[in-house]
Amino acid sequence: MPERTESDSRKLLRRLRDSLAVPGKGQDRLDRITSLIADSMRTEVCSIYLFRDPETLELCATEGLNKSAVHQTRMKLGEGLVGRVARLGQPVNTANAPAEKGFRFMPETGEEIYSSFLGVPIQRVGEKLGVLVVQSKAARAYSEDEIDALDVVAMVLAEMAELGAFAGEGDAMGAKHKQPVLIRGGTGQEGAAEGRVWLHEPRVVVTNPVADDPLTEIDRIREAVGVLRVSVDDLLAAESLDKDQKAVLEAYRMFAHSRGWLRRMEEDIQRGLSAEAAVEKEQSAARNRLEQVPDAYLRDRLHDLDDLSNRLLRILTGQGSDTGAEMPENPVLVARNIGPAELLEYGRKLRGVVLEEGSVGSHAAIVARALAIPLVINADRITTEALNGDPILVDGDQGLVHLRPDETVARSFRDKIAMQAEAQKRYASLRDLPATTRDGQTVALLMNAGLMADLPSLEGSGAEGVGLFRTELQFLIRNRMPQRAELAQTYARVMDAARGRPVAFRTLDIGSDKVLPYMKPQDEPNPAMGWRAIRVGLDKPGVLRMQLQALLRAANGRPLSIMFPFISEHGEFMMARSHTLREIHRERSLGHTVPASIEIGAMLETPSLAYAPQAFFDLADFVSIGGNDLKQFFFAADRENERVRKRYDTLNLSFLSFLELVVQRCAASGTRLSFCGEDAGRPIEALALAAIGLRVLSMRPASVGPVKSLLRRVDLAQARAVIETARTAGAESARPALMEWLATQQD
């Protein structure tokens, strides 16, 4: 068999383009294409398999196999040689297909007489669309040139599928971006929203995957790469960059100046692709490698290459980030990921946010909570499925996204939104009433905050103060360390907005999932239990002292409440407290006004602090239980790991018993105690926490109404008795018993 030449490749692509230009149905086009490829590749068989759903491939067209098998033969991802190509995103080339491990015989296709097999993935920038296969009776391995030729053809098929060239009946040939899609992700911020998609980074559409003049296309790619290199070099020349930002841009420059990257794209152009299609082909290969690489550093580098490819495509096509599209009135932001500063720029105009990546503790999640915007994270493939303007429903409570929903789903969803709105009206009527239970116990309900955008909620939610103000957001949304005067001004505005209500400022809580953009990331095997929060503050006392000075000056004679995060032992609290007292003394000696009073507290987020010496509880002015972190350390269940974070119940009686120990220790020393975290804002959890003795709960503003509503209609002594009965009965969790008891209570 003679090897294919580059001119053969271009000739095949021209025939393919001409065939696609002929009007006709999607099935007719696929049938013509399989015949054309088999003829050009001089093989007896050519077949096209497309995904009918994310896990199932369907034979959609064939030349050489039994036609009756079309739309009847299906296989799961990873099943057989075709399924292996789809799963790995890499070619499979064998001279003896039946002898290959994992080979699956499909009797209805009549393929048993064909020995050789070459399959390549049909994929586009991370989106797997199907598999293109050629087969021959002769037992031979296909040459590298033949593999490259088929790979280039698959790239063109992927682009044409994106443009709807193969639309037809059935799930596998349904028009792209037209069908309803349900995507399951994770909850980043509760709430429900209906709107239309607004892509943070609009998709670049390649309409000309095949080019006749390779020399012109090579000139175009070289010119565009030159522009890209200059832009990266200009960024590196900026004087404001610190060494860590420069390190990231140096990696960008390394890829931008990579001869191998440019050479591969030029080779793809020589085979017949346009400059844009060549960029996307290499980008798809990088995305596929990214999925296979376990090393986090290498994955980041491949992300760099992915980002550079997007920049290069925008240079080639002229499709910048501003595509001319107008943001819809009810935008739902869709992005792979987004930083806190970028999300803040959109502000409250967004109805919801859907991210392909992200985590419950990410900066974006924190900002979404501050803006009270429903957020779904880990929404797989959302950026490849969604187009600007698509109707979208965001269910932050369940972590679900309905893209292009049918009317039945939309009506049901609107009913849910209407019910939530009605409930909020009911909660608003309780705003000025205390959270006093039927047996006369009053629970103080505070709110969590981290941005000035949070503070208007203090008045409207009915919260009695701010139980946690996250000061790290002022550090995270900048690309440089904030100045002391800037922080003092911000903290003063927070106190002004609180209008005399208490505000507990938590000092800088960075590390783990919160890394400052201008701080060198720490390569830690388990960052959640690594160098973070107060550990960073005590090791970098200059930053801690600067923040303490800003807080003292912001108070300007008013009462001040400071709490230190992630205190694990008495000694850490003593050192942090000493820093605070020294700064008070220094401010006084400089003639500055010091706070009228100061409370110094600690966040109890590790079980170890519950067993601290009595001296700690006597010395601390208050203790705040950080429920999110404490629960993950108590159960040894990473809260960023979807497999385990929901496995353990807050109302597990072992956990409640531990919290009771903390309540008892604080009561013995007269130390004020609060519970802060997501569980404080869930009505059933809040009821249990109050029943075991917690009288201060801090939560997101939207949760204050539902929690207050439930507490005002229950008897805490009875709830406590229900928990004790469950414990005596040997139950694992108090939840079933409490739910059963609540069902018997009268409003």
Question: 46 catalytic, yes or no?
Answer: no
Both 158 and 111 in one domain: the answer is yes
Question: 676 catalytic, yes or no?
Answer: yes
Which among 375, 399, 420 is the end of a domain?
A: 420
Which among 371, 389, 420 is the end of a domain?
A: 420
Both 724 and 626 in one domain: the answer is yes
Specify whether the CB–CB gap between 464 and 501 falls below 8 A.
yes
Please report, for the domain that includes residue 354, its CATH number: 3.50.30.10
Q: List the structure tokens of 609.
A: 């602090």
Both 348 and 416 in one domain: the answer is yes
Specify whether the CB–CB gap between 301 and 243 falls below 8 A.
no
Both 142 and 194 in one domain: the answer is no
Specify whether the CB–CB gap between 429 and 422 falls below 8 A.
no
Q: Is 497 helix (H, G, I), strand (E, B) or coil?
A: helix
- Residues with Cβ within 8 Å of residue 555, at least 6 apart in sequence: 491, 492, 495, 594, 595, 596, 598
**467 within some domain:** yes
Specify whether the CB–CB gap between 355 and 375 falls below 8 A.
yes
Both 507 and 593 in one domain: the answer is yes
**665 within some domain:** no
Which among 365, 386, 420 is the end of a domain?
A: 420
Please report, for the domain that includes residue 81, its CATH number: 3.30.450.40
- Residues with Cβ within 8 Å of residue 419, at least 6 apart in sequence: none
Total count of residues recorded for the chain: 747
Helices (H), 590-734: 614-619, 627-634, 653-669, 683-691, 701-711, 716-728
- Name residue 375's amino acid: L
Both 311 and 329 in one domain: the answer is no
Question: Please, which residues bridge with residue 46 across strands?
Answer: 63, 134
Q: Which domain holds residue 245?
A: 214-317
**173 within some domain:** no
Both 621 and 733 in one domain: the answer is yes
Give the residue among 436, 479, 309 at the shortest CA–CA distance from 709.
436
Compute mean pLDDT per 10 residues along the chain, 747 residues long, and list them: 55 80 82 90 92 89 92 90 90 90 86 91 83 92 86 84 74 72 87 90 77 89 89 73 63 80 89 87 76 61 70 79 71 85 79 84 72 87 86 90 90 84 82 93 92 76 91 74 89 92 91 58 68 86 93 95 96 96 95 94 96 96 95 88 82 97 96 94 96 95 91 95 95 95 83
**219 within some domain:** yes
Both 46 and 87 in one domain: the answer is yes
What is the per-residue burial (b if ≥16 Cβ within 10 Å, else e) of 371-396?
bbbbbbbbbeebbbbbbbebbbbbbb
**175 within some domain:** no
Where is 152: in which H helix or E strand? helix 144-162
Catalytic residue among 46, 60, 666, 676: 676
Both 42 and 100 in one domain: the answer is yes
Specify whether the CB–CB gap between 719 and 738 falls below 8 A.
yes
Catalytic residue among 60, 71, 363, 402: 363
Which pLDDT belongs to residue 2? Answer: 43
Please give the tally of structural domains in the chain: 4
**168 within some domain:** no
- Residues with Cβ within 8 Å of residue 194, at least 6 apart in sequence: 330, 351, 391, 392, 393, 394, 410, 413, 414, 417
Both 606 and 733 in one domain: the answer is yes
Burial of 77 (0-12, 13-18, 19+ CB in 10 A): middle
The gap from C-alpha 121 to its chain's centroid, in whole angstroms, comes to 27
Q: Is 379 helix (H, G, I), strand (E, B) or coil?
A: coil
The rounded distance, in Å, linking the Cα atoms of 456 and 460 is 7
**664 within some domain:** no
Backbone φ/ψ region at 78: left (φ over 0), alpha (ψ -120 to 50), beta: left
The rounded distance, in Å, linking the Cα atoms of 82 and 481 is 53
Which pLDDT belongs to residue 610? Answer: 97
Which pLDDT belongs to residue 4? Answer: 46
- Residues with Cβ within 8 Å of residue 746, at least 6 apart in sequence: none
DSSP secondary structure of 677-711? SGGGGSHHHHHHHHHTT--EEEE-HHHHHHHHHHH
What is the per-residue burial (b if ≥16 Cβ within 10 Å, else e) of 480-498?
eebeeeebbebbbebbebb
Question: Please, which residues bridge with residue 698 across strands?
Answer: 446, 676
Q: Is 564 helix (H, G, I), strand (E, B) or coil?
A: strand
Please report, for the domain that includes residue 472, its CATH number: 3.20.20.60
The rounded distance, in Å, linking the Cα atoms of 632 and 640 is 9
**653 within some domain:** no
Specify whether the CB–CB gap between 601 and 626 falls below 8 A.
no
Both 444 and 535 in one domain: the answer is yes
DSSP state of 578: H
Both 288 and 406 in one domain: the answer is no
